[in-house]
């Protein structure tokens, strides 16, 4: 036997694991294991736990089910009332009344109930809603909520007795004063838009139609003065004073222009024509300044005192009064006037410096 065959034979003999006598291999035979009592008890306990879990789940499902009916007795009653309400609405309309004779007058509708026919619309004007005759006496009954709500609606009466009312449209004719005011507003709108030449034309046309329109003349004069067209402004203002000599505002504007041109005599002539009742603080200040330029200090002081009667803290009037009093050699009153002007707190830096210097000189 070769060496290889001997080794293979040796291996076969070692791995056969044949029992003595040619029985089953030793690895294929296993002894029966006998179950102990502990194993049985464990299986029973496991089964009981499973059963207890199933019972708990079933009890939870039972608890979640509603114990009482979801639809209560109140819901049943509400449903019954709703059904009865629907049945009431579905009732047949009241019996058709007997036809009215042509000569019979229609009877009025009783206040007790409102007929359903009144809430229907006529199909056309030719087929109006027929009125109901007087209702027959009926057994009084308790009104339901819908009937009470309808009865509470106030009656709408269109027009008075007799023929139906007729609305006529008539265009209201504007008065001359209203037309003038509308034209003036249009001119001011042009000024606000910067269309000055058009505004001047509109104001000129207004003054041609209504020369006594005060606001239009003031606006036109102001536009001319702002453009330094003083000759045109003087003409407009002189026309206004000729038409209304008591107009102090025109006299003040014209006097300022003449004083700026150093025509103090002409300015005084214009201002002297204004009545004392129409003289304001600005008027008296301008009058005092013109009188000062003409070296009429006593009249100037009186004009400034008149201005201070209506405006006691007017700095321009106080300074003018102090200068005129100083020229009249009334140093005490001049000093007081300068001090009052400083106390007003409205002087320009130049005037304040001048007043402070005069206070030092007059003390």
For 159-213, the pLDDT digits (tens) are 445 545 555 566 677 788 889 999 999 999 999 999 999 999 999 999 999 999 9
Average pLDDT score over the chain? 74
- Crossing angle of helices 230-243 and 214-226, rounded to 10°: 160
**Residue 127 gets which letter from DSSP?**
B
Q: What angle do CA 261, 264, 267 make, to 5 degrees?
A: 90
CB 255 within 8 A of CB 247: no
Nearest to 93 by CA among 71, 129, 118, 73: 118
CB neighbourhood size of 32 (10 A): 4
CB neighbourhood size of 327 (10 A): 15
CA gap 248, 246 in Å, rounded: 6
Q: How confident is residue 277, by pLDDT bands cut at 50, 70 and 90?
A: confident
pLDDT at residue 281 is higher than 50: yes
CB 300 within 8 A of CB 324: yes
For 96-148, the pLDDT digits (tens) are 555 555 444 444 444 444 444 433 333 333 334 344 445 555 555 555 655 55
Q: Show Cβ contacts of residue 255 under 8 Å, excluding neighbours closer than 6 positions.
A: 267, 268, 270, 271, 286, 287, 290
CB 283 within 8 A of CB 310: no
CA gap 251, 247 in Å, rounded: 7
What percentage of the chain exceeds 70 in pLDDT? 58
Is pTM, for the whole model, over 0.75? Answer: no
CB neighbourhood size of 147 (10 A): 15
Q: What is the DSSP string of 326-347?
A: HHTT-HHHHHHHHHHHHHHS--
Torsion (CA) 203, 207, 209, 215 in degrees, nearest 10: 80
**How far from 103 is each of 99, 100, 106, CA to CA, in Å?**
12, 8, 9
CB 212 within 8 A of CB 186: no
Tell me the chain's radius of gyration from C-alpha atoms.
59
Look up tokens 């464990």; give the residue.
42
CA gap 79, 33 in Å, rounded: 75
For 49-87, the pLDDT digits (tens) are 787 778 777 777 666 665 555 445 555 565 666 665 545
Which residues make beta-bridge pairs with 127?
Answer: 124
CA 147, distance to chain mean position in Å, is 41
CB 202 within 8 A of CB 190: yes
User: Architecture of 176-251 per CATH?
Assistant: Alpha Horseshoe (1.25)
CB neighbourhood size of 230 (10 A): 14
């Amino acid at each position: 036997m070769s060496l290889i065959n001997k080794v293979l034979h040796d291996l076969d003999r070692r791995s056969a694991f044949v029992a003595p006598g040619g029985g089953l291999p030793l690895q294929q035979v296993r002894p029966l294991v006998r179950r102990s009592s502990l194993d049985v008890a464990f299986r029973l306990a496991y089964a009981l736990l499973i059963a207890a879990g199933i019972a708990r789940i079933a009890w939870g499902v039972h608890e979640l089910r509603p114990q009482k009916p979801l639809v209560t007795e109140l819901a049943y009653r509400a449903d019954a009332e709703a059904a009865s309400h629907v049945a009431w609405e579905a009732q047949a309309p009241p019996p058709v009344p007997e036809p009215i004779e042509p000569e019979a007058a229609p009877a009025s509708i009783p206040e007790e109930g409102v007929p359903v026919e009144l809430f229907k619309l006529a199909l056309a004007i030719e087929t109006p809603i027929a009125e109901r005759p007087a209702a027959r006496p009926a057994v009084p009954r308790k009104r339901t909520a819908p009937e009470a709500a309808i009865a509470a609606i106030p009656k709408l009466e269109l027009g008075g007795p007799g023929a139906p009312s007729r609305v006529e449209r008539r265009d209201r004719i504007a008065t001359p004063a209203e037309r003038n005011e509308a034209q003036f507003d249009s001119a001011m709108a042009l000024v606000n838009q910067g269309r000055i030449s058009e505004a001047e034309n509109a104001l000129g046309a207004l003054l041609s139609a209504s020369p006594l329109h005060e606001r239009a003349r003031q606006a036109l004069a102001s536009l001319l003065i702002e453009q330094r067209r003083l000759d045109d402004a003087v003409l407009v203002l002189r026309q206004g004073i000729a038409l209304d000599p008591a107009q102090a505002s025109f006299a003040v504007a014209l006097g300022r222009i003449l004083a700026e041109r150093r025509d103090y005599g002409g300015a005084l002539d214009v201002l002297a024509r204004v009545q004392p009742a129409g003289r304001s603080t600005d008027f008296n200040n301008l009058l005092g300044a013109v009188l000062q330029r003409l070296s009429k200090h006593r009249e100037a002081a009186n004009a400034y005192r008149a201005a201070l009667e209506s405006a006691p803290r007017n700095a321009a009037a106080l300074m003018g009064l102090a200068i005129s009093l100083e020229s009249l050699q009334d140093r005490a009153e001049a000093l007081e006037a300068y001090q009052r002007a400083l106390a007003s707190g409205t002087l320009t830096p130049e005037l304040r410096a001048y007043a402070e210097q005069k206070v030092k000189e007059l003390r």
